[in-house]
Chain A
Amino acid sequence: MRTILGLLRLFFSFGKWLYSTSAFTLVVALLLIVVGVALYASQGNMATFSITILSGLLRAMLLFLVAAGLSIIFGLMDILNFAQGAYFMLGAYVAYDFQHSNMGVLRMGDSIPDPNLRFVVGVLLAIIVGLVLGFVLERVLLRPLYERPLFQLVLTFGVSIVMLEFIKGVWGTTPNSWTAKLALQDAQFELFGQPFSMYRLFIILAGFIMIFAVALLLRRTRIGIIIRAGVEDDEMVNALGINVRAVFTLVFALGCMLASLGGAVAAPFLGATPSMGATFLLAAIAVIVLGGLGSYEGTAIASFIVGLAWATMEQFSLFTNIGTVLSSTTPMLLLAFILLLRPNGLFGEAR
């Protein structure tokens, strides 16, 4: 009995600490905890550990691509875009379909015999689709509803359902796994005796570049200044002679584009499945809640924490008997914990 009480007290003081401690300490502590658990979950096997960390970093980058748009859109226009996951999924399907001739919707991919070039074109295509559909969603569907924010939320949710059903209708309900061979996938490097495909490394590097590119865009360019000012007070930005609604449209379309890009580059690992949208949406929401709604730095850092924690929990689930259940509910579990323990996030202000 006493031990139980002691444990409970420990748990509560941990919760209290999480609630009150400074963001920096928390980030360091969370990263240490996650890496520590990852070490424990790999049972001292460095090869397994490196798999966990690498796939965690990979997840982090993909999550960042979904979460960045989600976070900036939320900060600027106060819309939590529940369709962001659907854009991620659509990107994956477009890239997948373009690559594989047996799918039979975007047959024009067959005219490019080289699979690598075909992949690049497929990714570009996914980017364009995301950009255009993002534009349409904001311009046509969300714009009439700025006076009624509750309905905007409801509408993005509805759009995510329509996109999911559309994808199921066109490509079927069964998951598709990636079979094409890319040069970057075949090329390998070794870490602790464990071979990894270069593609993984490439995505991680590209993700880092994206993080800094978006940061530069926000810090150094005029449009970035407008976005940051709009997060504070869009009415004032408008009164300075800047067409804020046009900026909204642009940012929304760019956010959706990032998500599609994420889906397209994820397809070689994850394939294209109808459930990936909801999974990544919830994980990305976990990221922006942890990072603090509307904070870009928070989003970038939280992507790492959530990505690594996700990979760690999947590794962990390999040797528990409810493994499959645990691994597929990881993003929601993480989100639930974050909401319960530090709902204002790392860098968020209490709102």
Chain B
Amino acid sequence: MANLLELRNVHTFIGQFHILEGVNVSVQHGQITVLLGRNGAGKTTTLKSIMGITPPKTGEILFEGSPIHGKTSFAVARLGIGYVPEHRAIFKQLSVRENLEIAARERGDLDRSLDFIFDLFPDLKRLYHLPGGNLSGGQQQMLAIARALVPNNRLLLIDEPSEGLAPVLIEQVMEAIKRLSSEKTVLLVEQNFRVASKLADSYVIIDEGQSVASGSMADLSKDQALINKYLGVA
């Protein structure tokens, strides 16, 4: 089966800085793929390049076989890609309900997905009418993920969901991602290797703006040398 998402030799500049210098990523249907790498390696920029927020200068990005590089961010999203940025970029002045409502692309999106969302994150049901800014960090992360589940997205890009969360909450969020992956394909950015190794099916390592290794997560877990080289504390 063809890959759902495919990045071929992507180069991205931010201002005059060459951030991505050749990134290749394949994301297969129904899998959780994780982008690993040190801080500043270019993982977040990879997600932003897919979303068209920092469009790539050269290279190809294919979604379901058709090119999406060069499309604006909203057009990319409408193809069925949900984006959960780092630092939980929810709308703090809007209520939880409005945060979900704004993500709906068609009439009925919210009603259809609400049961699933409340099932995944029971907390949100209780907080439904509160402003997003009143939520705790973990609850905001759940809301950000839930928001990407409202429309009928086939691919979710999730950036560092465990960042800054207490261990109990990390478990909760990871459990949710595991569960939703039965319905959605996920491309995850994760610093925490332990978390990533439990969750992901396959991995791509990015180092200094280049994808340097990829394969199945099971293989990586055995390859201590590779882990030390790119992920260990240098």
Contact = CB atoms under 8 A, between A and B. Distances in A.
A135 B101 CA distance: 27
A348 B63 CA distance: 43
B45 to A, nearest CB: 14
Given A225-B98, A225-B102, A226-B102, A239 B93 contact: no
B91 A240 contact: no
B147 to A, nearest CB: 7
A146 B104 CA distance: 27
Given A239-B53, A240-B103, A232 B92 contact: yes
Contacts of A233: 89, 91
Given A238-B72, A239-B85, A232 B151 contact: no
Contact of B91 (A222, A232, A242, A243): A232
B51 interface: yes
B74 A235 contact: no
A229 B94 contact: yes
Nearest to B80: A241
A219 B208 CA distance: 45
B94 A240 contact: no
Nearest to B103: A240
B77 A241 contact: yes
A223 to B, nearest CB: 10
Interface string B83-100: 101000101111000110
Interface string B125-156: 00000000000000000000001000100000
A238 B73 CA distance: 6
B74 A243 contact: yes
B18 interface: no
A136 to B, nearest CB: 22
Contacts of A228: 91, 93-94, 98
Interface in B150-198: 151
Nearest to A235: B53
Contacts of A239: 51, 53, 73-74, 77, 83, 85
A232 B98 CA distance: 13
Interface residues of A, number: 18
B74 A244 contact: yes
Interface in B67-83: 72-74, 77-78, 83
A225 B78 contact: no
> Dominant SS at the B interface?
loop
B8 interface: no
Nearest to A233: B89
Select the residue from B74, B83, B94 with max chain A CB neighbours within 10 A: B74
A189 B221 CA distance: 85
Contacts of B103: 240-241
Nearest to A224: B98
A229 B53 contact: no
Contacts of B92: 232
Interface string A226-256: 1011011101111111111000000000000
B112 interface: no
From A222, A231, A235, A240, residue with most partner B Cβ within 10 Å: A240
Interface string B45-66: 0000001010000000000000
Contacts of B53: 235, 238-239
A237 B74 CA distance: 8
Contact of A222 (B74, B85, B101): B101
A221 to B, nearest CB: 11
Interface centre among A233, A236, A244 (most CB of B within 10 A): A236
B89 A241 contact: no
B26 to A, nearest CB: 22
A237 B102 contact: yes
Contacts of B147: 240
B98 A240 contact: no
20 contacts: A225-B94, A225-B101, A228-B93, A229-B99, A229-B102, A232-B92, A232-B94, A233-B89, A237-B102, A238-B72, A238-B74, A238-B77, A239-B51, A239-B77, A239-B85, A240-B74, A240-B83, A240-B103, A240-B147, A242-B74
A-B pairs with the 4 shortest C-beta distances? A241-B77, A241-B78, A229-B91, A238-B73
